[in-house]
Structure 1
Amino acid sequence: MLSNQAKIESLLFISGNEGITLTELSQITGILKPALHEQLDKLADKYKQDRSSSLQLIHAEERYKLVTKPALAELVKKYLNSNNITELTGAALETLAIIAYKQPITRIGVDEIRGVQSSSMIQRLQLLELIKENGRLDAPGRPILYVTTDKFLDYFGLESLDQLPELDEEKQEDEEMDLMTLFEQTTSSTEDEEEE
């Protein structure tokens, strides 16, 4: 059976860049807040003392999140600047298309459309500066809202979001597919124009 610390750690990991509140942790795990505080302190100490771990636990704006240790900043930056990251994966493009068409949108909103968890894709797109945070939704947990950036427009050779074709409201049954098809059509036509 999994320990309470393992449960907490898994939720911290899956919450990604948004992090998770003590209230959310308590509601999901059924662990009382005083016990959660104790487990979070132990987890933070574990990461501090374990020199072989790349992670640390931070607490900011009532949210807890796992991040890489500052000593690894150069390594992470090197990876992000490598050729391996310049090509967007299908999952990253899918996430980006949803945000482009539905912005501002929360991670949960993206998850609902994709049908899978999107934290890692959102983190990657933020690190590439293709999306950014744009306030918080006035709802329980105050989830972060995401929008595309000017770099997104530059990356795909668009002058404005107006160049993305409008969605056909009658064909919204397979929303994810419609978004991807439209997005790919727009970006490929822009690339063709650049080649000419």
Structure 2
Amino acid sequence: MLSAIEAVLYTAGEAGIALGDLATTLGISSAAARQQLDVYAAALAGGDRGLTLRWSDDRVYLVTKPALADTVRRYFAGPPTQGLSQAALEVLAIIAYQQPITRVEIDDVRGVQSAGALTTLASRQLVKEAGRKDAPGRPILYATTPFFLDYFGLTSLSALPPIDSVSAPSDIDLFDQTTEPDWAQGENHDATTN
């Protein structure tokens, strides 16, 4: 049960999860979920772990321990040359092509939470807050920064390759044998003419 709780809290990210939603996800009562969270919190506190639980109203969050704030701050202050994860690159591409865009809209495109990747991209100054959407809750809009253009050697956003010109790997049929590749046609042609 504790590993399931950890997995759900990790996936929930910075949004956390309401106690009732966690209980429903785990298939247990809210009282049992709270009891399991207390056991999990004690396990985190008792060991040499970098995480802890934080409560806000009826929501629970998996967060880094305050004692490690300087270490985490140094990590996020690192140079962008450390590379970007696949998740961060996906989020960055979505923002670049659909900006300004909200985190929820990014999550909808990816099908998973993007909060961690957004934090990384913002800390590396590749994306920024670009206002608020005129919608319920006034969610934050994200856009790329001038540093993004410089980092990728672009003069403007119009220099991005058109999306429809790039074939996704899933669009390529590796087993399509209706046409031969150019090199094969050349060999066949040479064989018949000689």
Q: Which residue of 2 aligns with 1:147?
A: 142
CA RMSD of aligned residues (A): 4.1
Q: Give the aligned residue type for 1:24.
A: D
- Counterpart for residue 14 of structure 1: 11
Q: What is aligned with 2:149?
A: 156
Q: Which residue of 2 aligns with 1:26?
A: 23
The separation in 1 between residues aligned to 2:133 and 2:86, in whole angstroms, is 27
Helix, strand or coil for the counterpart of 1:156?
A: helix
**AA of the residue aligned to 2:142:** V
Tell me if the contact between 2:125 and 2:148 (Cα under 8 Å) persists in the aligned partners.
Answer: no
Pairwise mapping of residues 57-96 of structure 1 onto structure 2 (< 5 A)?
57-60=53-56, 62-83=58-79, 86-96=82-92
Partners of 1:57 and 1:36 lie apart in 2 by 14
| Aligned residue pairs, count | 165
Q: Which stretch has the larger CA shift, 109-118 or 88-97?
A: 109-118
Which has the larger Rg? 2
Distance 1:26 1:138 in 2: 30
Secondary structure at 1:67's aligned position in 2?
A: strand
TM-score by length of structure 2 reads 0.61
Where structure 1 has 5 or more consecutive residues not aligned to the other structure, the ranges are 178-196
| AA in 1 matched with 2:101 | P
For residues 27 and 14 of structure 1, the distance between their equivalents in structure 2, rounded to whole angstroms, comes to: 15
Give the TM-score normalised by the residue count of structure 1. 0.61
The AA in structure 2 aligned to 1:153 is: P
Q: Which stretches in structure 2 are left out of the alignment for 5+ residues?
A: 171-194
Name the % identity.
33
